[in-house]
Amino acid sequence: MAKETFEKALSGLEKAVENLEKEDLSLEEALRWFEQGVERLALCRKALQEAENKIEVLLKERNGHFKTRAFDTDTGDRES
């Protein structure tokens, strides 16, 4: 099975949420949509984690040279 894209997983998650918001769902239908939503959420989280792991921050050192380091999600790397 081909790897599902983030966009497709997000679209599936949105569809599951929309269907769960309907008032005329049977319990079985609601459980099916809930399970699909949980699966799509896990795929989205995994894709975001993989993307985050690839991000690097480019820093300029005092000597004018540049170096890279991993992006720190705790600080958001908002410092200049």
With 0.75 as the threshold, say if the pTM is over it.
no
Q: Which residue has the higher pLDDT, 3 or 22?
A: 22
What is the pLDDT at residue 55?
A: 80
For the segment 46-50, the average pLDDT, to the nearest whole number, is 92
How far apart (Å, rounded) are the C-alpha atoms in residues 16 and 33? 5
Three-state SS sequence of 38-76: HHHHHHHHHHHHHHHHHCEEEEECCCCCEEEEECCCCCC
pLDDT tier, 75 (very low <50, low <70, confident <90, very high otherwise): low
Structure tokens at 54: 């690839």
Domain layout of the chain by residue ranges: 6-70
Whether the pLDDT of residue 1 is over 50: the answer is no
For the segment 49-56, the average pLDDT, to the nearest whole number, is 83
Distance from chain centroid for Cα 37:
13
Mean predicted lDDT score pLDDT of the chain:
86
